[in-house]
């Protein structure tokens, strides 16, 4: 469940970060996201960590939920 502070925070994600979240929301694994976006798996994992930190969530699933609830993916 999102806290009020998280729900009120405006989206601060780049188009690339939203693309990663969209692929994760589609059920893709890190390797598949990497191939789709022409990145290394390590880069995808790093970007997912950055997304989670930026959104102040603990897991990639929470980041996906955050984006879905806002209609971003």
Q: What is the mean pLDDT of the chain?
A: 90
Ramachandran region, residue 18 (left: φ > 0; alpha: ψ -120 to 50; beta: rest) = alpha
Residue with the larger pLDDT of the pair 53 and 12: 53
Task: Answer yes or no: is 47 within a domain.
Answer: yes
The answer to whether residue 29 is domain-embedded is yes
What tens digit of pLDDT does each residue of 11-46 get? Answer: 589 999 999 999 999 999 999 999 999 999 999 999
Domain that holds residue 45: 14-69
Q: What is the mean pLDDT of residues 5-14?
A: 64
Q: What are phi and psi of 10, to 5 degrees?
A: -70, 155
Give the model's pLDDT for residue 42. Answer: 98
> Cα–Cα distance between 12 and 18 in angstroms, integer?
10
CATH number at residue 25: 1.10.10.10
What's the rounded mean pLDDT across residues 1-19? Answer: 71
């Amino acid at each position: 469940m999102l806290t009020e502070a998280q729900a009120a925070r405006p989206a601060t994600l780049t188009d690339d970060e939203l693309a990663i979240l969209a692929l994760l929301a589609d059920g893709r694994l890190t390797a598949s996201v990497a191939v789709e976006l022409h990145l290394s798996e390590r880069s995808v994992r790093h970007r997912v960590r950055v997304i989670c930190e930026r959104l102040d969530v603990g897991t990639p699933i929470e980041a996906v939920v955050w984006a879905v609830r806002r209609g971003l993916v």
